[in-house]
Amino acid sequence: MNQSIAQKISALRQEIQTHNLNYYTLDAPTVTDAEYDRQIKTLRELEEKYPEYTSPDSPSLSVGGPVLDNFSKVAHELPMLSLGNVYSEEELAEFVERIQKQLKNTQVLSFCVEPKLDGLAISLLYEQGKLIRAATRGDGAVGEDVTYNVKTIKNIPHILKGDNIPERLEVRGEVVMPIAEFHAFNQHAIANEAKSFVNPRNAAAGSLRQLDSNITAQRPLAFYSYGLGIIENGSLANSHYQRLQQLKAWGLPLTEEVTLETGALGCFEAYTQLLQKRPILPYEIDGIVYKVDDIALQEQLGFIARSPRWATAHKFPAQEEQTRLLDVEFQVGRTGAITPVAILQPAFVGGVTVSRASLHNADEIKRLNLKIGNTVVIRRAADVIPQIVRALPDAQEKNREIIFPTTCPVCDSEIERIEDEAIARCTGGLYCAAQRKEAIKYFASRKAMNIDGLGEKVVEQLVDENLIHNPADLFNLTAEQLIPLERMADKKANKLIAAITQCKNTTLPKFLLSLGIREVGEATARNLANYFLNLEALKHANIEDLLKVDDVGDIVAQHIVAFFRQKHNQEVLQALLDTGIHWPEIKAKEQQAQPLEGKIFVLTGTLTQMDRNEAKQALQALGAKVSGSVSKKTDYVVAGEAAGSKLTKAQELGITILDEAELVNLLS
């Protein structure tokens, strides 16, 4: 039994020492903070239960990790200790009660309450008000000299301002990388195929430990004070809170969330408020810190091996946890986007149990180097959808590759992914059940088939009641089927059936637009109709044929070919034609009879007789191109009311300017 306990304690100590090295020294954590806290707690419980196995070099008694050989060592004149933790309101009450018992004090105590910043602890030494040295916490007794790097942090004063500054003053605080700057830094790094950081804490630590201070200077770091070490030849207030305010007056940064609270109840209220505020803070915090405010009482309480008795940290629910990736499913969104979803071994994180997380796309899987079976770190901040942050090092040979499907998991249509696009999509837009509602709404919209009365809610009811499965089914509906629907009486039902029948008489451009082919808008649909003249020719066009059409590039051509290649789309398309949908024949000579062919127009300001979209369509119907910006190539600028910079530029370039009345005359 004892042999087994001794081995367990020894193995746990070795594992924690490795975590300390990775986290504090190498800035490359291999477990989450929550998992680390659990291991430390387990070790302490074992050492308390079996005191015969206690050891002075146990990580339960140490602070931080070893110092890197690359930096000069700095011995702290006063040790830089860490804090104990509480995890509940009950444990907080026990902490306060324990202090009062030791002080033999039944009065309600005041506490200085501060956010627990998730960064790198450092010491700043000022002599005669000038910054002369900066050091990391290191192992609590010895840290790394990072003076040159710290001096590049913009909000750290090199010279303190004001009066009554002690001759020697050691300020302690946290270096962080603000959240917004962290995300911007990582996005830039990924875009340039450079190293990105796991989280803001590691970004701050890694940036501060650069051997070249010029690199540190380029990193968006910030510092916030939380306490004092050495104080020589100077006097400060006997209140921890007031001392922090004095530091602020001398020019040292202080977080706005520092407050003065009374008793356990006041501390817990501050905890609750800060937890609610956490998602909008500019920096990462992982809890709140309570410190007895009276300095004399702090000195009376003293310290235990690695932490002060007069302070503790109250940890927030973990935003990151580690669990196992069990499988990956592929979901199809309303627009056909294929999204991989991680199936996880359930884990409690961010206040909820998480068993699924979005993986976004194939590029994200590749970036994370994920395999089924990996131990992964998941993150859930506030109400943010859980996501996998990284995979932890483990036995890769035991894990399975994640294979992205080549056909839609819902309708079995081909999946299309255009080069340089992150998202893969199902091409069965007219058939795929996952895209059904959006496809039908788009088919019926004003710019497409313009079915009056077939709004979003009606479409959703029709699909939910299994009355329609694709756009062709609309033409088989009867008034009797519609009347039972919500807010649908006899008159409205018959009117909708009439509108559906009426829309059968359309134009080829409108019909092409109604199919919902990716990136085929009104202008492209019109150009396709005018070039190919009929649907059959377009259906059999290849990439080379399509590239000859004005406004059609490689990507749009690929979308069109992929759409018409799908058997399911072909079936729905034929079903639509079988309902009697028709349009006037487009003759080749009509293509060439465009009075505004080659003319470039720009619309600006507010039009009163028609909206700008109607004006744009009318101009395009006569062969004109409508641009969004004015250039030397522009032929006409149509200026409505309150026309702005486009009108000014047109006047400078000497371009012909038309008012709305002149536009109407031109169109007629």
Give the residue numbers marked as catalytic: 116
**132 and 159 Cβ atoms separated by less than 8 Å:** no
**71 and 209 Cβ atoms separated by less than 8 Å:** yes
Q: Quick one: DSSP state of residue 209?
A: T
**93 and 265 Cβ atoms separated by less than 8 Å:** no
- CA atoms of 347 and 578, how far apart (whole Å): 53
Report the candidate in 664, 667, 620, 617 with the shortest Cα–Cα distance to residue 640: 664
- CA atoms of 246 and 242, how far apart (whole Å): 6
Which residues touch 187 (CB under 8 Å, ≥6 apart)?
none
Query: How far lies 443's CA from each of 81, 450, 513, 515, 643, in Å?
Result: 67, 8, 8, 6, 34
Which H, E and C letters describe 18-55, residue by residue?
HHHHHHHHCCCCCCCHHHHHHHHHHHHHHHHHCHHHCC
Query: In 29-178, which residue ranges form alpha helices assigned H by DSSP?
Result: 33-49, 89-103, 147-150
Q: Count other C-beta atoms under 10 Å from residue 316's C-beta.
A: 19
Report the candidate in 367, 372, 359, 348 with the shortest Cα–Cα distance to residue 32: 348
**Amino acid, res. 260:** L
Query: How far lies 59's CA from each of 11, 65, 75, 469, 527, in Å?
Result: 12, 9, 20, 64, 72
- CA atoms of 253 and 226, how far apart (whole Å): 9
Which residues touch 463 (CB under 8 Å, ≥6 apart)?
436, 437, 440, 469
Which H, E and C letters describe 221-235, residue by residue?
CEEEEEEEEEEECCC
Residue 291 tokens read as: 């410190």
* Partners of 627 in beta bridges: 602
**122 and 137 Cβ atoms separated by less than 8 Å:** yes
Which residues touch 273 (CB under 8 Å, ≥6 apart)?
none
**133 and 158 Cβ atoms separated by less than 8 Å:** no
Report the candidate in 185, 203, 183 with the shortest Cα–Cα distance to residue 194: 185
- CA atoms of 501 and 453, how far apart (whole Å): 12
Q: Quick one: DSSP state of residue 615?
A: H
- CA atoms of 10 and 58, how far apart (whole Å): 9
Contacts 24+ apart (CB under 8 A), 578-581: 578/472, 579/472, 579/475, 579/476, 579/504, 580/475, 580/504, 581/503, 581/504, 581/506, 581/511
* Edge-to-edge strand list for the sheet holding 625-627: 625-627, 600-604, 636-639, 656-658
